[in-house]
Copies of this chain bind each other. A is one copy, B any other.
Amino acid sequence: MTDPVLIEVTRNGQVESRHCGMVAISDANGGLVAGIGDFARPVFPRSAVKALQALPLVASGLAEKLGLGAPEIALACASHSGEPAHVTTAQGMLARVGRDENCLECGAHWPMNQDAMRAMARRGETPHAGHNNCSGKHAGFVCLACAAGHDPAGYIDPDHPVQQQVRAALVRMTDTPHEPVNRGIDGCSIPTYAVPLESLARAFARFGSGERMPADYAQAARVIRNAVAQAPFMVAGTGRFDTRVMERFCDRVFMKTGAEGVYCATIPERGLGIAVKCADGTTRASEAIMARILSALLARDDDERAFLDDLAHAPLTNWNTITVGALRPADALNDALARIS
């Protein structure tokens, strides 16, 4: 079974490549506003649920107790580019509990931001776990463990108190079992659980509206959304899609990309949650799909629509900076969105 084509990649006007995918758009009660493809199929949400994974840290009051502000809370939800401000902010979080990057269990990789990577290479440096795009989430886990009096060692293990709390939050928000049978290991070594796309959309409708969730989670969700709206650079980085869109729309949208073509978002003013999976796992397509959805559901005027439509029709340029093609939303996506509004 294949999902419908949602994004076409053109070269000189001819379709060169095609991205299939699934979309679910839901309210907090699970009322589907739109569903494309096999939206009941479980997908590993990967980093797209980092904001839900940050709920225990904030809802417990420990983030406030540790004095974590907007940059730190945004970084706890981030897949950041490893730019200096990301790394020092993660280190600052760890310092609040007397730790440093050596206690992070996410593994090390060079910064995703190419300029940051080459600047490090020029200085003769090598990366540590603080440069891992997940270091903010992991620093949040370490903060949660230490502030609650747990030994943080092994905090990536499914049975560690930290992961138990994180799993409980995911179960509560998605109304979906998170068990060994639907568990995988994420890129940063924490558990990731496959969940139907429509459940993710509903969870993010709750995250954006505060409806159908416990009061402490609803308050924490508001804090997290405000933090990211105040510090959108922290959640991604220079030139990144999440950062650009939230810099423009502030708290009118919360969105988060995940590996393998997953995207989750919420539009609080409409009470809607959005979950996208590009079936082949390609980020260029999940971003274009999300941009097209936001153009339909979030934009209030022509300027806002043009901003988002430009992202949905991202140009392809070559090494001589010649525009040689572009992405474009396909009929299945456009038609499904035309039926909403």
Give the residues in chain B near A319, CB-CB below 8 Å: 106-109, 132, 187-189
Residues in A110-132 with C-beta less than 8 Å from chain B: 110, 114, 117-119, 121-122, 124, 132
Contact of A185 among B12, B44, B121, B182 (CB under 8 A): B12
Cβ-based interface call for A102 (8 A)? no
Cβ-based interface call for A261 (8 A)? yes
Contact of A2 among B9, B20, B118, B189 (CB under 8 A): B20
The answer to whether B16 touches A184 (Cβ under 8 A) is yes
Q: What is the minimal beta-carbon distance from A247 to any residue of chain B, in angstroms?
A: 27
Cβ-based interface call for A43 (8 A)? yes
The answer to whether B320 touches A107 (Cβ under 8 A) is yes
**A-to-B contact residues, CB < 8 Å:** 2-5, 9, 11-12, 14, 16-20, 42-44, 105-110, 114, 117-119, 121-122, 124, 132, 182-189, 192, 194, 260-261, 279-282, 285, 318-322, 324-325
The answer to whether B9 touches A281 (Cβ under 8 A) is yes
Contact of A189 among B42, B119, B320 (CB under 8 A): B320
Q: How far is A192 from B11 in the complex, measured between Cα atoms in Å?
A: 10
Jot down 20 A-B pairs with beta carbons below 8 A, ordered by A.
Answer: A14-B194, A16-B43, A16-B184, A16-B194, A18-B20, A18-B279, A107-B320, A109-B319, A110-B118, A117-B118, A117-B121, A118-B121, A121-B122, A122-B124, A186-B324, A187-B324, A188-B318, A280-B280, A280-B285, A282-B282
Give the residues in chain B near A117, CB-CB below 8 Å: 118, 121
Q: What is the minimal beta-carbon distance from A296 to any residue of chain B, in angstroms?
A: 23
The answer to whether B44 touches A189 (Cβ under 8 A) is no
Q: How far is A107 from B281 in the complex, measured between Cα atoms in Å?
A: 29
Query: Chain B residue with minimal CB distance to A284?
Result: B281
Instruction: Pick the most buried of A12, A117, A285: most chain B CB atoms within 10 A of its CB.
Output: A12
Instruction: Pick the most buried of A16, A108, A282: most chain B CB atoms within 10 A of its CB.
Output: A16
Contact of A324 among B17, B185, B321 (CB under 8 A): B185
The answer to whether A261 touches B17 (Cβ under 8 A) is yes
Q: How far is A5 from B281 in the complex, measured between Cα atoms in Å?
A: 13
Give the residues in chain B near A114, CB-CB below 8 Å: 110
Give the residues in chain B near A107, CB-CB below 8 Å: 318-321
When A and B form their complex, which 4 residue pairs have the shortest distance between CB atoms, in order from nearest?
A: A107-B319, A17-B281, A121-B121, A11-B184
The answer to whether A11 touches B44 (Cβ under 8 A) is yes
The answer to whether A184 touches B20 (Cβ under 8 A) is no
